[in-house]
Structure 1
Amino acid sequence: MHLSYCTNVHPAEDLDGIIGQLDTYALPIRRRLGSDVLGLGLWLAAPAASALAGDPTSRRKLRRELDVRGLEVVTLNGFPYEAFQAPVVKHAVYHPDWTERERLDYTLDCARVLADLMPDTATYGSVSSLPLAWRTPWDSERAAAATRHLDDLARGLDRIAGETGRTIKVGFEPEPGCLVENTTQAAELLAKVDTRWLGVCLDLAHLACAWEKPAEALDRLRRAGIPVVKTQVSAALQADDPLAAEEVLRSYAEKRFLHQTRSAEGGSADDLDEALDLRLPGPWRIHYHVPLHAEPEAPLTSTVPVIREALYELLTAPGERCEHFDVETYTWGVLPESQRPKDEAGLADGIAAELAFARDLMAVNR
């Protein structure tokens, strides 16, 4: 099993910036944890991925920089294309989608880079990606384009394996508001993909927001023959009585990221401020990745109980198991002021605490 933290929380988008963030964050986090090796779920913006994919010397340089710091990479986050820490992201994170050639090229670039970065001991590498597209617009022409690109993706991953001897798998990440929002839709819309190379990236905050029960969701994927190639260990925000918690909830409504909100009663909104204005009946789960180890401001809670259930199912299931677990809290910079890290050292402390929390959860369930 490989546990890592996702570097999409950091804004660096070129090779020098990426190497710089290793010293600013990754190395201090590893030392705080007292670990010989720290896993990174590396995020590469599309221009950096393209440059690295086309330059073996740069890939070797990055691998050396990782090795000398005791860092390993078995998974890349290939969901955000670029500018993920821009002042406003919102719907832009879903573009380009799988109807567009740029998404295929970017994902194959990530796979080529990962083949040279991953340690020799890793069984496979993984790249997570968006769940095809935002739900609208969608029609038969766009569906056909996405199917062509997924077929090309599988062929490209097969070719990379033949050239490098390394297996790289891509996991599509169900997310609220997207074409694939839950495991029911994943089982339907990914039914014909080549599962030697393609599967699901299961984000546990998204699973919670869909109000899915982990055991049922994983059984559904198993019966459909769709592997979980990567798990994102993330917690969503929960409001049992959102009207009573309105003032606190409004402190989480912010302009950078989309915070899709789902009610247990079936109501939905594409952002938190919209849900507040609609006054959806509660309880709510909100697509807002909150730190695993720290409770949000009362009366809000997090979906850590869903993480516990899901990890138990993932780590005790018979047959082939997911090996990659990535802590993906990318929202540290937009948390309410009282919970936001004050400086770089504070962010490193927070990420280290999350990783320790996740490590303990996984140890209990193994």
Structure 2
Amino acid sequence: MYVEPDHFFHLTYCTNIHPGNGWSEVYANLRRYVPALKARFAPRNAFGIGLRLSGRESSELLQGDHLQQFQYFLQEHGLYVFTLNGFPYGPFHQQPVKALVHAPDWRDEERVAYTLRLIEILAFLLPDGIDGSISTSPLSYKTWVNIQDPTAWRGFTRNIVRIAEALVRVKHEHNKLIHLAIEPEPDGLLENSEEVVRFYTHWLLEEGARLLSDALAVSRDEARSHLLEHIRVCFDTCHVALAYEEPAAVLDRFDQIGIKIGKVQISSALKVVFPGEEQARVDIARALEPFAESTYLHQVVQQHHDGTFRHYPDLIEALPHIQDRQIAQWRIHFHVPIFIDHFPRFQSTQDTLADTLDLLAQRRFCRHLEIETYTWSVLPEDLKKDLLDSIAREYEWVLKKRV
């Protein structure tokens, strides 16, 4: 939906929160939830959708007349699609996902083919005069890659450039601007702004510019401009907080080399500030246990009193270390409802989210805003509420912030 007063921002929620495998189930969820949300928040205006499609669903949507029928549905109900979530390729609910959320990575031909299908879908659905975004993985899972191996980086760069080439051609042939948004996250190959900048400066704007220059028969400078226009960053506020980064500093670092933000994902993580008392830590551990669930990775980034950090790949692996007196704080990759700023024994990183929304109002660095609390089905029981009401409450919280 357009956000007042001047319709600069497009606000949506990511449909990855709805369990479903296959286009028919995804479509059923859209029909069930989206018109009801539109009636609440944009009864007289167009209402945007942040569509998540798996590899299977992207293929099914392109079969027969499914895409045309979906477009009819959008037009009938006053809806539009402006952003896709192309990070998780496989099933995302009701079974363990964990590190497989990164598979296939950006060295794999199927990741390229999947993303090209998403581009085809979005180019068809995207209304005129609106740019489109597709978020994607941080190239790979860090433990799957020898980061000193230039062959791996060349593979990532080559395939990202193939996507950039396709997006340049879409712009030229259809006059639609679509950008891929790489999403840093904990333990991803790119997990913070420093690593993103290093990839751009060492690989994408050097080797990548050479490859794109050859493919399009343009100068290196033109190729770099195309790469910066079409390969952007997905600014997930949960993930920024997990990196212990300040949103303004991240934006300033990106601005220095021209990296653009393609999409802001509005989300919050868990934050635990540790007391010294042993019993208090026991109580915290007990309160955290329901969050150590088996579907998703819940990485823990541990800050020590001396300012150093330690990473745990999952909350279940961090809990046995909770009595370590060096620990000052944990930030846990569990997307919690954005309207909650504290729990009985810990907090959320809502402050990072609020700071980002303030910066959006001041600097208008991105037009696409996507609420992404995908964990409703795995939240502790006392936090589970009616899903439609919960989504609506998140919209209300963002709208009250008056971006």
TM-score of Structure 1 vs Structure 2, range by shorter chain: over 0.9
CA distance in 2, matches of 1:160, 1:54: 21
Q: Say whether residues 1:131 and 2:164 are aligned partners.
A: no
Aligned residue among 304, 307, 326 for 2:370: 326
Gaps in structure 2 of 5+ consecutive residues: 1-8, 206-226, 276-280
Structure with greater Cα Rg: 2
List aligned pairs for 1:192-271, cutoff 5 A: 192-193=204-205, 194-241=227-274, 243=281, 244-265=283-304, 266-271=309-314
- The number of residue pairs the alignment matches comes to 355
Q: Say whether residues 1:65 and 2:73 are aligned partners.
A: yes
Letter aligned with residue 44 of structure 1: L
TM normalised by structure 1 equals 0.92
**Contact 2:141-2:189 within 8 A present in 1 as well:** yes
List aligned pairs for 1:72-87, cutoff 5 A: 72-87=80-95
1:348 Cα deviation (Å)? 0.7
1:301 Cα deviation (Å)? 1.2
SS of 1:267 mapped into structure 2:
strand
- The answer for the alignment partner of 1:285 in structure 2 is 331
List aligned pairs for 1:1-366, cutoff 5 A: 1-33=9-41, 35=43, 36-53=45-62, 57-122=65-130, 124-138=131-145, 139-191=149-201, 192-193=204-205, 194-241=227-274, 243=281, 244-265=283-304, 266-279=309-322, 281-295=327-341, 297-317=343-363, 321-341=365-385, 346-361=386-401, 363=402, 365=403
CA distance in 2, matches of 1:64, 1:296: 43
CA distance in 1, matches of 2:382, 2:58: 35
CA distance in 1, matches of 2:161, 2:346: 43
CA distance in 1, matches of 2:185, 2:10: 23
SS of 2:91 mapped into structure 1:
coil
After superposition, the C-alpha distances for 1:90-124 in whole angstroms (9 at most, x for unaligned) are: 011000010111111111111110111122241x1
1:308 Cα deviation (Å)? 1.2
1:53 Cα deviation (Å)? 4.0
Letter aligned with residue 46 of structure 1: G
**Contact 1:131-1:180 within 8 A present in 2 as well:** yes
CA distance in 1, matches of 2:165, 2:57: 23
1:10 Cα deviation (Å)? 1.1
CA distance in 1, matches of 2:34, 2:352: 27
Distance 1:337 1:296, change over 3 A: farther
Q: Tell me: higher relative CO, structure 1 or 2? Use CA pairs within 8 A at least 6 residues apart.
A: 1
CA distance in 2, matches of 1:37, 1:300: 38
1:247 Cα deviation (Å)? 0.9
How much is the aligned-residue C-alpha RMSD, in angstroms?
A: 1.7
1:23 Cα deviation (Å)? 2.4
CA distance in 2, matches of 1:221, 1:257: 29
**Contact 2:129-2:176 within 8 A present in 1 as well:** no
CA distance in 1, matches of 2:59, 2:152: 25
Letter aligned with residue 251 of structure 1: P
CA distance in 1, matches of 2:168, 2:42: 38
Distance 1:5 1:323, change over 3 A: same
SS of 2:228 mapped into structure 1:
coil
Runs ≥4 residues deviating over 4 A: none
Identity %: 35
- The answer for the alignment partner of 2:222 in structure 1 is none
**Contact 1:53-1:110 within 8 A present in 2 as well:** no
CA distance in 2, matches of 1:173, 1:6: 14
TM normalised by structure 2 equals 0.84
SS of 1:115 mapped into structure 2:
helix
After superposition, the C-alpha distances for 1:292-319 in whole angstroms (9 at most, x for unaligned) are: 113453122111111111122233227x
